[in-house]
Structure 1
């Protein structure tokens, strides 16, 4: 898409940190751009929302984003590697595969590798360095995008300290795991800085047949921030770099082998390895033009490169073995030789860049925002295939096949987004929020017939635009009761594989609920309903579409997702102990709503558990010692649409119930120690069958940590 100079002028005339309900204390905290703010703020928004605050992050010391997401109502997780390296997170009607249907942000900046053309989150920010996590659902999410059906997930990083200081956290655990999180920074006069790193390593919890190679990972992550604050204005520069090497595979297990040893890995996957690096740059300027007008501008650039070298087509052996093919099982076990095994260099480079502009101003009882974003992203796929034979249980290299066609292609998108929001205080009791968003997306794909890219194999493009209106309100019935409701149009871009006449996924989304708040007691129940005109799947090897496609898009047809979210929290007292309790529950029903060529009315959608539940209970002696239990349950899920019409166990995952335990002791004002056991009762189930076979959650794992603050 070629933008005119007029577009650039529009963007430059405003200025935008990434959010509408930006929880910024004027210009002092632009490095922590929040969409909600505090946990208290989340319980008053005109849309259901949740905040995992700094206290919960500090106590749980989470390294796996999946485990945090399980404590938020309306959020679904499909685990894959058991360690949270490649999360699959869905929100309400937005499916879980690679977080591709959720708007993923870090401090307000889109961090999916290519949010419009290839949104699958093969890169996910390191959870260890986050200070809080925010999830926003309902009509207010129209302020963000591009994914505007289910929700927004914003990861809030460590802030620049007001005084010089820092922290070093070191954790050691089973499987030779080691985690270090260290940061130092401070503010003097107009200048502030932060230097931060996370270093993670583990041997993993799986054992590879006939191999001394571990199934673990090594991760390095570095962040630097420099902030200047002047008279009514501020500027923040942020630089991030990370790299990961993980011996991860797409190859799972047959059900019979899973039953014998959940943590086994076949020797065919011995040489599989992910190697990636990510660079992120952003520059954020804020100007308080007057008491009623704030202008912001945010420029960003992300570069992500990855090569996941792994067995291609392993699902054929697993599926055949599950259906009784003894030869396929023998090949998986290394007991039978096999020729022509393809190991693909899933080598891709991503680039994402843009500029956002926003003006926030107050007019009488209205707080309005007007902004725009000019964005472009691209994915370059060049994937040679190495051919191996399995001989006497060992892999023997044969030759390399250079890529053509779908393994040698460029995909990209250019997008212009414009938004207008109004938070209208109608009365002391009634708050109305209205939003209007416009998305104009042009995407393309070029497949090449030769490695020099001098000859095209095929080409396709798509141009789509949508107006997305929404409205919501909260009404305070009295000091304790509040009602909320909203409706908005949702949108999901098709991606770089879209053909000319394809229409993007759109939906009409409703929610309504009640809140009760009295002292420490909070209760919320929200019903939601999403009606899709054309439910669309993004196809990949990790998440094949229902038609078997591993690239492009697949349209399921009309569908409906409806459900109920419930959460409650209270703090009880028992002598000198405080006992905070938090409970969440979600019921969801997602199904095809009209017969079509591929599906029937009533076919259940994939990756949506009908029931999820969590409970967090703490025992705090108010003298530095706190014990913390987190219990999480999720129903089985369909692997593909329509599993409710079959009796095959291979069409479903298994329900899973996991309990984690943390005991933390504050030795003094500067030092704390903690002991943590994940999956306390060692409950492992088949939590995923994609990609390529049965996959377990993490087994019982103990770790010990020391936190020193200065």
Structure 2
């Protein structure tokens, strides 16, 4: 199916239920008259996130970061917004939340490939199946709330279900006339941000335009970045029971962020240097379309139909491939007559070439879902039944050259043969069903998901040579049945005790299966998908006024886990286990003592007391700890809210020591890719002031206020964490 044909079909499909379903649901004329009589009883169509309306019945752990919490914390990026969520570990070696690395419950956080990222239920990765890398996340400016789901409710979503999922719920269109806001932000490190949102709405629906730009200096020297995004969102109430939502977005990033870290000697000399940063670059263009049709057929039946299309292109250029090769200092990879021994300095970098990695991706999907309230067998129940069809195409290429002219991608493509040229096509069909039975204070939720995936890989060039042997073309079919079951008990007021288990799944990565050592030598191993069994037992409660607490004990048993082995390489680690306990809570003393002056304490803590390989393999040793799986992660904040509109907060984030490889190497290597990451504690604060009755808000936020120098990552060399970042701004609502 062509892209244009798909878009036309998706538009038609979105409107078809509006024309066909009334006849299906209500049949003859008498039923239509009854529907007309009953329509006053039907609640207006509302659009929410992925969590159900009845949160008390959710049989698993979840966290919701709502609009109020986002205003309190004033996060600089998604990274800061999620830092206080239990179970989450973020490796912040990149610039200000670009290319975010999120790991849940001990899983490798590299580019968030084990955590399903969604925007309003639509996948966000470069390619959700073939290349689940998070080089884009919804900008914090467009978000109304963030939903983090880690429990058995994941069977409704996919394909990545081994760790959890995060859904960014965007702001709705205005409902009552003209409305919007303008925000201007400035900060150190030459940071500048501008965001504008404006729309108009009424009973018929609404239209909204959202525009933003952010730019500044990155974490390291010569790492400046510039991102821009334009989004148009419309909601059209076709009838009292039907709503059509359309959203179109365009995002572009132009940054000089090197993906290569430093050797150990370079890092000791100047942690923030990036010798090739002036020439290294990362460019990313993303176009997206999302359509949602919601049909509230009656009080008990809702049909939701989603269609989406994403077309993206990313290219990166780097001049250092392996850091630290010159006795702990880096060499420029490709220079005239250099033979790989030219020291990495800014002056030398101007004379040298390097490698370009242009990659294009597009994917589309169509997903109808039926939510039904019923009482089959005399038991009140909520059922969900759905299906998703998804296709994606990826093209991975690489070009190299040894002169300064090769710093330009167009020149490199015109004057060199591709070092790598790989096409990956994916067709995936997903089927899911879930039913929640309500039995007094109990709710039981069995569910099942079936993933039927076909990967087709065609390697035209690899290792710089033509590949035309039988192994250069491969088709890998995978069908997995993923059951889940959860129980929730609400026998205590405002309290839920829950337990659940579900089968986790992460599709195989074709780009990791390739090996070549010359012409017509490529081998594709067609690895199996990662599979896990995820258990949890927990409690969440608001029993006492002004006090909210939650705690979850979790256990994840992996059958086949894939872990990083440095330099962007991955290995199969076999069986592993991750277990731990999460705590989170908040106390609002203003609510306890019934006073408008509110002092609050909010905190979270994750103890990952076990994260280890279970059996020896060729690359792993039983008992060794998983890479990038810190034992302790904690966040605590103390704040004060004044009735005049003042909100001030100060807090600390703590991450304990981490290993970075499967061997748990403690001695630092010259290339910086081996060794430990020491623990670190960061001091943060924010102040918001919006005078009562005013349309203007003033805010000031600071992260790493103590300006602590800390090591964030050893992937591709040593990468320092962000230094002190302070920013302030003004927001005007109209």
CA shift, 1:238, in A, is: 0.6
Question: Are 1:283 and 2:291 counterparts?
Answer: yes
> RMSD between aligned alpha carbons?
3.3
Secondary structure of the structure 1 residue equivalent to 2:323: helix
Of 263, 274, 277, the match for 2:282: 274
Question: Are 1:158 and 2:171 counterparts?
Answer: yes
Counterpart CA distance in 1 for 2:442 and 2:579 is 26
CA shift, 1:260, in A, is: 4.2
Question: Are 1:674 and 2:694 counterparts?
Answer: no
Question: Are 1:469 and 2:483 counterparts?
Answer: yes
Question: Are 1:345 and 2:356 counterparts?
Answer: yes
What CA deviation, in whole Å up to 9, does each residue of 1:56-111 have, x standing for no partner? 22233323211222111011111122411110111125321101111110010011
Counterpart CA distance in 2 for 1:472 and 1:520 is 28
CA shift, 1:259, in A, is: 3.7
Counterpart CA distance in 2 for 1:700 and 1:183 is 29
Q: 1:446 to 1:466 in 2, by over 3 A?
A: same
CA shift, 1:415, in A, is: 0.4
User: Contact between 1:411 and 1:444, CA under 8 Å: does it hold in 2?
Assistant: yes
Q: 1:101 to 1:450 in 2, by over 3 A?
A: closer
Question: Are 1:437 and 2:449 counterparts?
Answer: yes
**Aligned residue number for residue 211 of structure 1:** none
Q: 1:227 to 1:389 in 2, by over 3 A?
A: closer
Secondary structure of the structure 2 residue equivalent to 1:67: helix
Counterpart CA distance in 1 for 2:74 and 2:417 is 43
**Aligned residue number for residue 546 of structure 1:** 565
**Aligned residue number for residue 294 of structure 1:** 302
Q: 1:91 to 1:13 in 2, by over 3 A?
A: farther
**Aligned residue number for residue 23 of structure 2:** none
User: Contact between 2:368 and 2:388, CA under 8 Å: does it hold in 1?
Assistant: yes
Secondary structure of the structure 1 residue equivalent to 2:141: helix
Q: 1:226 to 1:549 in 2, by over 3 A?
A: closer
Of 682, 693, 699, the match for 1:658: 682
Question: Are 1:495 and 2:512 counterparts?
Answer: no
User: Contact between 2:612 and 2:625, CA under 8 Å: does it hold in 1?
Assistant: yes
Question: Are 1:186 and 2:200 counterparts?
Answer: yes
CA shift, 1:656, in A, is: 1.8
Counterpart CA distance in 2 for 1:404 and 1:534 is 33
What CA deviation, in whole Å up to 9, does each residue of 1:274-326 have, x standing for no partner? 11111110111111222211111111000111111112513253774499xxx
CA shift, 1:515, in A, is: 3.1
Counterpart CA distance in 1 for 2:134 and 2:17 is 27
User: Contact between 1:688 and 1:696, CA under 8 Å: does it hold in 2?
Assistant: yes
CA shift, 1:611, in A, is: 0.5
**Aligned residue number for residue 521 of structure 1:** 547
**Aligned residue number for residue 110 of structure 2:** 97
1:69-84 map, 5 Å: 69-84=82-97
Secondary structure of the structure 2 residue equivalent to 1:314: coil
Counterpart CA distance in 2 for 1:478 and 1:422 is 23
User: Contact between 1:243 and 1:276, CA under 8 Å: does it hold in 2?
Assistant: yes
Counterpart CA distance in 2 for 1:604 and 1:178 is 41
CA shift, 1:183, in A, is: 0.5
Question: Are 1:577 and 2:590 counterparts?
Answer: no
User: Contact between 2:606 and 2:634, CA under 8 Å: does it hold in 1?
Assistant: yes
What CA deviation, in whole Å up to 9, does each residue of 1:446-473 have, x standing for no partner? 1114999997462222111110001011
User: Contact between 1:123 and 1:304, CA under 8 Å: does it hold in 2?
Assistant: no
- Name the TM-score, length of structure 2 as normaliser: 0.84
Q: 1:330 to 1:43 in 2, by over 3 A?
A: farther
Counterpart CA distance in 1 for 2:438 and 2:654 is 39
- Name the TM-score, length of structure 1 as normaliser: 0.87
1:596-611 map, 5 Å: 596-611=617-632
Of 145, 165, 170, the match for 1:132: 145
1:9-28 map, 5 Å: 28=45
Secondary structure of the structure 2 residue equivalent to 1:59: helix
**Aligned residue number for residue 229 of structure 2:** 221
Question: Are 1:60 and 2:73 counterparts?
Answer: yes
What CA deviation, in whole Å up to 9, does each residue of 1:605-653 have, x standing for no partner? 1111110000122111121111112321111222111316768783222
User: Contact between 2:259 and 2:318, CA under 8 Å: does it hold in 1?
Assistant: yes
What CA deviation, in whole Å up to 9, does each residue of 1:423-444 have, x standing for no partner? 11111x1111111000011112
**Aligned residue number for residue 22 of structure 1:** none
**Aligned residue number for residue 557 of structure 1:** 574
Counterpart CA distance in 2 for 1:224 and 1:293 is 29
Question: Are 1:359 and 2:370 counterparts?
Answer: yes
What CA deviation, in whole Å up to 9, does each residue of 1:564-589 have, x standing for no partner? 11111111148762012211000112
Secondary structure of the structure 1 residue equivalent to 2:626: coil
CA shift, 1:44, in A, is: 6.0
User: Contact between 1:423 and 1:433, CA under 8 Å: does it hold in 2?
Assistant: yes
Q: 1:287 to 1:698 in 2, by over 3 A?
A: same
CA shift, 1:253, in A, is: 2.3
Moved more, 492-501 or 45-54: 492-501
User: Contact between 2:120 and 2:168, CA under 8 Å: does it hold in 1?
Assistant: yes
Counterpart CA distance in 2 for 1:66 and 1:154 is 14
Secondary structure of the structure 2 residue equivalent to 1:251: coil
**Aligned residue number for residue 621 of structure 1:** 642
**Aligned residue number for residue 25 of structure 2:** none
**Aligned residue number for residue 383 of structure 1:** 398
1:291-330 map, 5 Å: 291-315=299-323, 317=325, 320-321=328-329
User: Contact between 2:318 and 2:355, CA under 8 Å: does it hold in 1?
Assistant: yes
Secondary structure of the structure 2 residue equivalent to 1:315: coil
User: Contact between 1:576 and 1:621, CA under 8 Å: does it hold in 2?
Assistant: yes
Q: 1:662 to 1:399 in 2, by over 3 A?
A: closer
Mark the runs of 5 or more structure 1 residues left unpaired by the alignment: 17-24, 208-213, 538-544
**Aligned residue number for residue 534 of structure 1:** 560
Counterpart CA distance in 1 for 2:506 and 2:394 is 18
Counterpart CA distance in 2 for 1:257 and 1:645 is 19
Aligned length: 666
CA shift, 1:204, in A, is: 3.0
CA shift, 1:547, in A, is: 7.8
Q: 1:340 to 1:440 in 2, by over 3 A?
A: farther
User: Contact between 1:590 and 1:604, CA under 8 Å: does it hold in 2?
Assistant: yes
**Aligned residue number for residue 638 of structure 1:** 659
**Aligned residue number for residue 249 of structure 1:** 258
Moved more, 479-488 or 285-294: 479-488
Question: Are 1:199 and 2:199 counterparts?
Answer: no
Counterpart CA distance in 2 for 1:559 and 1:593 is 5
User: Contact between 2:423 and 2:459, CA under 8 Å: does it hold in 1?
Assistant: yes
Q: Which has the larger radius of gyration?
A: 2
CA shift, 1:27, in A, is: 5.8
Mark the runs of 5 or more structure 2 residues left unpaired by the alignment: 19-41, 332-338, 514-523
Secondary structure of the structure 1 residue equivalent to 2:370: strand
Counterpart CA distance in 2 for 1:527 and 1:319 is 46
